[in-house]
Amino acid sequence: MLSAEEARVLAVLIEKETTVADSYPLTLNALRLGCNQTSNRFPVVSYEDRTVENALLSLKSIGLARFVHPSHGGRTVRYRHVADERWRLERNELAVLSVLVLRGPQTAGEVKTRAERQLEPDGATVDEALDTLAARSPEPFAVQLERRPGERERRWAHLLSGEPDDTVADPTGPITVDERPDLAGEVAELRARLDRLEALLGVEPD
């Protein structure tokens, strides 16, 4: 069982290992900024260095993080996760888990979109990764939530910090244009089709 701070720090290390590989392992400053991002995060937090340092020390003590001390001429300690070794999880399984931690409960389709940059093409699919996380013994890492009124699909949540809080309506928010660049084109196409339909029907625009 991890605290919310420990889970977020670990998830950021997992995410950044693939999305900013050139600057990984991370410095304390980069890790704090990753935790405090206002995009692609739910909830948005404002951690101080001490909060991140305490989480790192705890993660190190249970074998989930390592401190990379500077080599000759270096000045800055860097940090990396070792969750793959500790938990025996593959890259795609870790990617899916990190997205659930950083973005809150979401459908398998949303996980696939948001984890795309981290996924290996030849690795487990998102559905397979979710099933693996849910089937983990003795404690599962993920759970499929009951469908709420008005929802078409059931959502998934992580269990690293205990039972998920499912009281917040639509915690992940809609997929944004930043996450799906093709959405802008689709919206423009739909608008053009609507305009043509209105012209055919003789509907005057507002």
Residue 60: pLDDT over 80? yes
Contact 120, 187 (CB under 8 A): no
Query: At which residue do the structure tokens 């959405």 appear?
Result: 183
Q: In what order do the strands lie in the sheet with 78-81?
A: 26-27, 78-81, 65-68
Contact 41, 102 (CB under 8 A): yes
Contact 7, 161 (CB under 8 A): yes
For residue 14, give the 3-state DSSP assignment. helix
Q: Give the model's confidence band at 182: pLDDT under 50 very low, under 70 low, under 90 confident, else very high.
A: low
Residue 167: pLDDT over 90? no
Per-residue pLDDT at 170 = 45
Residue 168: pLDDT over 70? no
What would the two tokens of residue 46 be? 């404002």
Chain mean position to CA 176: 15
Q: Give the model's confidence band at 155: pLDDT under 50 very low, under 70 low, under 90 confident, else very high.
A: very high
Per-residue pLDDT at 183 = 55
Mean pLDDT of the chain: 88
pLDDT in tens, 15-45: 999 999 999 999 999 999 999 999 999 999 9
Of the segments 66-70, 140-144, 174-178, which one has the largest average pLDDT value?
A: 140-144
pLDDT in tens, 103-154: 999 999 999 999 999 999 999 999 999 999 999 999 999 999 998 888 889 9
Per-residue pLDDT at 192 = 72
* 180 vs 203, residue with greater confidence: 203
What beta strand segments (E) does the chain contain? 26-27, 65-68, 78-81, 142-144, 156-158
Per-residue pLDDT at 177 = 47
| Cα–Cα distance measured from residue 21 to residue 62, given in angstroms and rounded to the nearest whole number | 24
Count of beta carbons in the 10 Å neighbourhood of residue 159 = 20
Per-residue pLDDT at 184 = 60
What would the two tokens of residue 1 be? 């069982």
Helix count and strand count (H, E) for the chain: 8, 5
Mean pLDDT, rounded, for 166-179: 50
Residue type at position 86? R
